């Protein structure tokens, strides 16, 4: 029975990944999370799932976990996330470098077959090209969060070159879903709309993003694992339908059948890139089906909130 470690497994993506993997009885899942932003109730309560409260950035915490289990695969998703939080706590963000070093070192020493690393679209910074392609778009962001993610990618490649530890790097683009916290734009807008409260947008709202429903994200991760795909490679995971934040707010108001008004606040001083959209060619080959439309994803979230 393969044993899989998911760090950050009480978070939005990690908990859904754990839930879908745990439904396959041939996996044993170990979830590690310090619950700083993760939610314990999101962890699936199944006999093949074990939860350990621990901090991946603390070597004494993580070495004990690797000493107890012989992991076959590791999904390293633990990180400080959210634009506002990462800008306000840059030291905490930089400490995440310790976590990736611990994970890679212990994985190398214990025979882990592959490490799946959660990187981010933030590494691209302001785009030189749209859509943003894994191999041709420069990585130019100077924000602490993006720097740490970029360094984490470099560590994965270095451990492959020196120790033959296999990796796959996921660059996630705005994954949303029912268990996502209000730190992120889709649940924040949706909950305001359902209450009939104003939806606030920083700046003119013409900055663009794309929004990927959680099941599309997680199914791509699982198929990459089980199909032995993109080993020692980078994979964008997102939706290639680019839209403005203003369009997002208007779509949410429509789907929620809300009368909420849109209010514009001053633009953020940093961290709010003007355009963001992935090249999803590789992801679509993995998923081999249509992506979830935003309207359907929002309806799923409304049902989940109910």
Distance CA 90, CA 14 (A): 23
Query: Is-catalytic flag, 73?
Result: no
Distance CA 39, CA 153 (A): 26
Q: Which two tokens stand for residue 257?
A: 């059948």
E-strand stretches of the chain: 3-7, 28-33, 49-53, 73-76, 114-120, 166-172, 175-176, 199-202, 208-209, 212-213, 233-237, 243-244, 262-265
E-strand stretches of 54-193: 73-76, 114-120, 166-172, 175-176
Residues 6+ apart with CB under 8 A from 246: 201, 204, 205, 206, 262
Residues 6+ apart with CB under 8 A from 152: 96, 97, 100, 117, 119
Distance CA 34, CA 40 (A): 10
Using DSSP, state whether 69 is helix, strand or coil.
coil
Distance CA 279, CA 10 (A): 28
Distance CA 14, CA 78 (A): 8
The torsion angles phi and psi of 86, rounded to 5 degrees, stand at -70, -30
Catalytic-role residue among 145, 176, 213, 230: 145
Is the preceding omega at residue 212 within 30 degrees of 0, hence cis? no
Q: Catalytic site residues? A: 145
């Amino acid at each position: 029975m393969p044993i899989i470690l998911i760090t950050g497994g009480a978070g939005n993506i990690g908990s859904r990944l754990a839930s879908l993997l745990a439904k396959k009885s041939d996996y044993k899942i170990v979830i590690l999370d310090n619950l700083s932003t993760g939610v314990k109730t999101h962890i699936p309560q199944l006999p093949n799932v074990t939860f350990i409260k621990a901090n991946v950035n603390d070597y004494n915490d993580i070495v004990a976990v690797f000493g107890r289990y012989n992991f076959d695969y590791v999904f390293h998703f633990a990180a400080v996330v959210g634009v506002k939080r990462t800008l306000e706590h840059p030291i905490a963000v930089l400490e995440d470098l310790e976590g990736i070093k611990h994970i890679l070192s212990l994985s190398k020493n214990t025979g882990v077959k592959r490490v799946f690393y959660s990187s981010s679209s933030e590494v691209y910074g302001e785009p030189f090209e749209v859509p943003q392609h894994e191999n041709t778009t420069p990585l130019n962001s100077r924000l602490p969060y993006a720097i740490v993610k970029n360094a984490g990618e470099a560590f994965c490649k270095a451990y492959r070159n020196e120790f033959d530890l296999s990796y796959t790097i996921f660059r996630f683009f705005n994954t949303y879903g029912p268990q996502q916290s209000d730190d992120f734009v889709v649940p924040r807008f949706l909950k305001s709309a359902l209450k009939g409260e104003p939806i606030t947008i920083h700046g003119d709202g013409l900055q663009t993003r794309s929004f990927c429903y959680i099941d599309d994200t997680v199914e791509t991760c699982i198929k990459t694992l089980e199909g032995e795909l993109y080993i020692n490679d980078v994979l964008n995971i997102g939706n290639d339908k680019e839209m403005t934040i203003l369009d997002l707010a208007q779509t949410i108001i429509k789907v929620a059948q809300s009368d909420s008004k849109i209010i514009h606040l001053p633009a953020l001083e940093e961290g709010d890139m003007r355009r963001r959209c992935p090249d999803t060619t590789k992801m679509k080959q993995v998923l081999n089906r249509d992506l979830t439309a935003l309207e359907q994803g929002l309806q799923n979230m409304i049902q989940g909130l109910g």
